[in-house]
Amino acid sequence: MRQLAVYSAIGNKMTGSINNEVHTVNFLLREVQKIVDEARTDLYDIQAEVQYSSGAFFLWSMAMSYDNVSNVVVKIASKNSTSVNYLLLNSHYDSEVKSPGAADDGVMTVIMLETLRVISRSERPLANPVVFLFNGAEEANMLASHGFITQHRWAPNCKALINLDSTGSGGREVLFQTGPNHPWLVKYYQQSAPHPFSSTVAEELFQNNFIPSDTDFRVFRDYGSVPGLDMAHVLNGYVYHTKYDNFQNLERGTYQTTGDNVLAVTWALSNAPELQDTAAYEEGHSIFYDYLGWFMISYTESTSIIINIVVSIAALVFIIISIYQMTTSTRSDTPKVVAIRFSIIFIVQVLAIVVSACCTILVALIMQGLGLTQSWYYKTWMTFGLYFCPMFCVMGLIPAAYIGWTKQRTNMKLNETISCFMHAHCIVLVLVCIVLTSLGIRSAFFPMLGIFFYTISLILEEIFRLLAKNSFFITIHLICQLLPFWFYTYLNYVFLVVFIPMQGRDGPDSSPDLLISGFIVLMTIHFAGFILPILHKFHKSKIFFTLFGVLTVIFIIIAATPAGFPFKAEVAAQRYYVLHTQRTLHYENSTTKTESGFYIQPVDTRYSELYDTTFKNAEPDSWTTENCAAEPYCGLPLYSGRWLDWKDSARWIHASPPDFPVKTELTPGIKQSIGDNKIRYEFSLKSVDRVVMYILPLEETKIINWSFDKTQLEEAHKPPYFIYHVYSLVEHPLDFWIELEHEAGNTAGPHFKLAVGAHFLYHQQSYTEEYREFLNSFPKWAYTTDWFASYESWIF
């Protein structure tokens, strides 16, 4: 923990800053040297170096470009090892704006150091070398990992990866991505990790963009074809990328728990024979999940198809047997009548599920319509009344109404009717499981588990019926539901802990209440469908279910009062990006327009809270609309491609200009014809270390080539084009060129609009007094990620 305290004390570590490129690099080199000095040099060779790389690639609708970003790279190998197949461990030591990065990703960095130290002193065999990559530009859109995997001499030898990151502040790390197509990696994790925490559901949610984050795993996979394990801390995501991500707020126990897992998995993978030829073990995806953190289950996708089908068929068979048994007792109905009765019950159960889901989603729409979104953001317990209760209410009331109406109209015993409702629910899950399996969705294991345990209860019931000549239906059913109930509620808790904080940064165009309510609907269907029918044994079950509906109304009222306000200072703050910005627009007729102001970019959907206070002097929505029509990307210095969908919610408040310590200078170079109706423009750009550029070809003009990554051109992306460039401790300018094809006779132009946005991310000492006062005007429950920027556009 001493290392983490020292790391955190360095402060903010933005790529390109002295803190990141000098102080943190020196800290890592000192710690590595201590490890080398104390290592078993008779057993191991350790090499350490600093890599500086420059390059380009495509990510998130942006042409990425970088110059001189840093990595600290360490390789440990057994003495005289001849293996050319390495295991790669990766974490990053840079951090986001204003954040010391203790959890993201400092704790993983020091865990890697400790893993290196333990290995260097151990007498255990190390069959293959291990490369420890401490990368210095993950938060800058994963530049340093690209620099390593495409340029470092050890990169071609890296055959498998353990990627370590964070989207919270410690706690247990979740394995949320594997492979792809390498199930042997999950096998070693399952066998070696003492504290497993993993889920295929998390993997599929992440890969379908339900999680507003990304990791270096993508770069290693896409640009190095390196399969691996992607793990991240997820607890307390409220402090993610804020100044509260510090040493004091880190969950204690994180270091030991994660360290145990990382060390064990590193030993296992470094000695895995599969490293010799990973391509030979490329056998499809894995299904994996842990049970309450006690143990882990994993199997291949092909095995899961067999399991899902067999379990589903078995469930249907024993349901048929159970229904048939209802026709053999004294005073029972005929098989035809029982079949009709069950068909009606099946329809009623489907209706209960559909109506309860619709009512729950309706509550979410009401909350959004009333401007009460995210009332559960800090008070997670609000989700119970708002979204669990309507599910419980309707899923219980509709069957209860049916049971009450048919009580005197059927020979079915109450237990048999309750059993039929459970059978119907199981058939619904069977249909869901089969559909998901046929679509190749690996999360089909989720309904399969409920089906499996319900089938076990049916089998046991038949056994007891034969042996004891009596029915122990309720007892057997409740016992068999314990394990799946714990599993589903455990995952439900994990989901809420992980996803609720994420909704505070999912964008102003998101629908957080719909997302949370939708997931609660899915979870509730799985764990409540086999539990709620038991309550029909009580005489006043309708009153009981009605109480859930009353609770929903009460919780909506609470959400409308100050008690339902979602944000809390320092603990669960509302996020805003605030950029003190100067805009300079150069027009075709040589005129120039310059204006300055505060560009505020909300990050969630509830930004109307500040309309009457902090935003009272903001320009109307028409300002944004007009600028979006006149300038590429509204003439705003967007920070990344993720802001492209947010720009329409931006607010602008006029203010005096910021003080720029570095001027942005764009110098046009040679303009020359390179063929029929084709022109090449050359430019030289000097600016701060983080710039974005927009290139918008004008009418009858087409960009055909440039010096940046060419993906946007080759895939015919719709302009304007977005370029993102990072300098790191270099003073030379960015020289680039653009080639275009124009309409015949339009040699003079104009041909395109070029805009440059410069971001001063760690220059707080240059803030104007007006800017400081504006930032202080935000309420204490709001958190600003702030810097100043310039935007300048030209027509060529």
Quick: pLDDT tens for 258-281: 999 999 999 999 999 999 999 999
**Other Cβ atoms closer than 10 A to 519:** 18
The answer to whether the predicted template modeling score (pTM) of the entire model surpasses 0.85 is yes
pLDDT reading at 294 higher than 90 = yes
Q: What is the pLDDT of residues 555-591, one digit of tens each?
A: 999 999 999 999 999 999 999 999 999 999 998 878 8
Q: Helices 445-468 & 414-438, crossing angle to 10 degrees?
A: 150
Nearest residue to 492 (alpha-carbon basis) of 177, 178, 170, 199? 199
Of 94-98, 222-226, 251-255, the one with minimum mean pLDDT is: 251-255
Name the phi and psi angles at 663, rounded to 5.
Answer: -85, 145
CB 406, CB 340: distance < 8 Å: no
Nearest to 359, CA basis, from 558, 554, 548: 548
On average, the pLDDT of the chain sits at: 94
In sequence order, the 6+-apart residues with CB closer than 8 A to the CB of 630 are none
Question: CA 457, CA 482: separation in Å to the nearest integer?
Answer: 11
**Secondary element (H or E) of residue 363:** helix 335-369
Local confidence band at 747 (pLDDT 50, 70, 90 cut-offs) = confident
CA distance 610 to 774: 13
What is the amino acid identity at position 186?
Answer: V
> What mean pLDDT do residues 63-67 have?
96
The rounded distance, in Å, linking the Cα atoms of 580 and 582 is 7
Query: 2-284 domain in CATH 3.40.630.10?
Result: yes
Return the H-helix or E-strand segment holding 738. Answer: strand 734-742
Q: Does the structure show a pLDDT above 80 at 360?
A: yes
Q: Give the per-residue pLDDT at 331.
A: 67
Residue type, 713: L
Higher pLDDT pick, 180 / 73? 73
- The residues spanned by each domain of the chain are 2-284, 361-564, 573-796
In this predicted structure, what is the pLDDT of residue 334? 82
pLDDT for 8 beyond 90: yes
Q: Is the distance from CB of 448 to CB of 311 less than 8 angstroms?
A: yes
Q: Which helix (H) or strand (E) holds 602?
A: strand 592-602
pLDDT of 505 > 90? The answer is yes
Instruction: Output the pLDDT for position 682.
Output: 97
Question: Could you give the CA distance from residue 428 to residue 405 in angstroms, rounded to a whole number?
Answer: 23
| Model confidence band, residue 330 (pLDDT cutoffs 50, 70, 90) | low
Half-sphere exposure of 91 (CA within 13 A, CB side): 26
Share of the chain above pLDDT 90, in %: 84
The string of DSSP codes covering 201-237 is HHHHHHHTT-SS---THHHHHHHH---EEEEEE-S-G
635 Rama class: left (phi>0) / alpha (psi -120 to 50) / beta? left
How much is the pLDDT for 473?
A: 83
Instruction: Look at residue 283 in the predicted model and tell me its pLDDT.
Output: 86
How far apart CA 328 and CA 322 sit, in angstroms, is 10
pLDDT of residue 325: 86
Residue 731 confidence class, pLDDT cut points 50, 70, 90: confident
Dihedral over alpha carbons 244, 246, 247, 249 (to 10 degrees) = 20
Q: Which of 184-188, 357-361, 729-733 has the lowest mean pLDDT?
A: 729-733
The total of other beta-carbon atoms located within 10 Å of residue 487's CB is 20
pLDDT tens digits, 92-150: 999 999 999 999 999 999 999 999 999 999 999 999 999 999 999 999 999 999 999 99
Tens digits of residue pLDDT in 157-189: 999 999 999 999 989 999 999 989 999 999 999
User: Alpha-carbon distance 564 to 386, whole Å?
Assistant: 11
Say if CB 583 and CB 624 are below 8 A apart. Answer: no
367 vs 444, 519, 555, 611, CA distance in Å?
31, 16, 11, 19
- Residue 645 preceded by cis peptide, ω within 30: no
d(CA 499, CA 510) in angstroms, rounded, equals 13
Question: Given the DSSP bridges, would you call strands 228-233 and 173-179 parallel, antiparallel or unpaired?
Answer: antiparallel
